[in-house]
Amino acid sequence: MSLLDLAPVVPVVVVDDASTAVPLARALVAGGLPVIEVTLRTPAALDAIRRIAAEVPEAVVGAGTVRTPGDVEAAVEAGSRFLVSPGTTPALLAALLAGGVPFLPGAATASEAMSLAERGVRELKFFPAEAAGGAAFLKSLSGPLPDVRFCPTGGITPANAPAYLALPNVGCVGGSWLTPADALAAGDYARVEKLATEAAALRG
């Protein structure tokens, strides 16, 4: 099964303290969102991925904000089961293709999507989704590029997610709203689970 079809929403998480990773992953899984993207934006990110991979086997943990071949190597070594990038460079694509795990490379134009499809990559992250044209843009691509599917991310909310999820070329959406920084700082995992439960119901 494709990464895009495992869950309607992929939580995009910024982990400042690796000790929060396991309880937050458990809360997301309990709410019905097993696919978790930990962004490589903090020093704690790789440790967070390692802990989730080791202690929350029901989660499918991956790395986001993957920008370099070195990021690919470090993320896979930490136990990432998928990789997500905000955009795609030739060097990064080569590393992703060699990385051995599924990946969603970032694309924001028809040309970028076509270049990736030429390389056999047809499941992409559409980023930054709202700023780059939103659901209307992806709907426009579904005619000429019907074989390319997306996980739009960037500016997605519970209010605009249904419009994306209704499109034939969208498998899931990504977003950071499931794990508010203040909830993580306060250890309020019940709130995370509630947000996940609501998000899991977005695709009816």
Active-site amino acid positions:
37, 125
What residue spans of 4-120 are helical by DSSP H?
21-31, 45-55, 69-77, 90-98, 110-118
The rounded distance, in Å, linking the Cα atoms of 178 and 148 is: 27
Closest-by-Cβ residue to ligand 3PG is 176
Question: Between the CA atoms of 52, 55, 59 and 65, what dihedral angle is there, to the nearest 10 degrees?
Answer: 10
Which residues contact ligand 3PG (rule: CB under 6 A)?
12, 127, 153-156, 174-176
Using a 10 angstrom Cβ sphere, with 0-12 exposed, 13-18 middle and 19 or more buried, the burial of residue 200 is middle
Q: How far is the CB of 140 from ligand 3PG (least distance, A)?
A: 21
Q: How far is the CB of 64 from ligand 3PG (least distance, A)?
A: 7
**How many Å separate Cα 159 from the centre of its chain?**
18
Nearer residue to ligand 3PG within complex by CB, 1 or 159: 159
Nearer residue to ligand 3PG within complex by CB, 63 or 120: 63
Q: How far is the CB of 42 from ligand 3PG (least distance, A)?
A: 12
The rounded distance, in Å, linking the Cα atoms of 13 and 201 is: 20
Q: How far is the CB of 58 from ligand 3PG (least distance, A)?
A: 23
Nearer residue to ligand 3PG within complex by CB, 54 or 80: 80
Nearer residue to ligand 3PG within complex by CB, 127 or 150: 127
Q: How far is the CB of 108 from ligand 3PG (least distance, A)?
A: 12
The rounded distance, in Å, linking the Cα atoms of 55 and 78 is: 13
Asked whether the beta carbons of 99 and 121 are under 8 A apart, the reply is: no
Nearer residue to ligand 3PG within complex by CB, 72 or 161: 161
Q: Is the peptide bond before 34 cis (omega within 30 degrees of 0)?
A: no
Strand arrangement of the beta sheet that strand 106-107 belongs to: 106-107, 123-126, 149-152
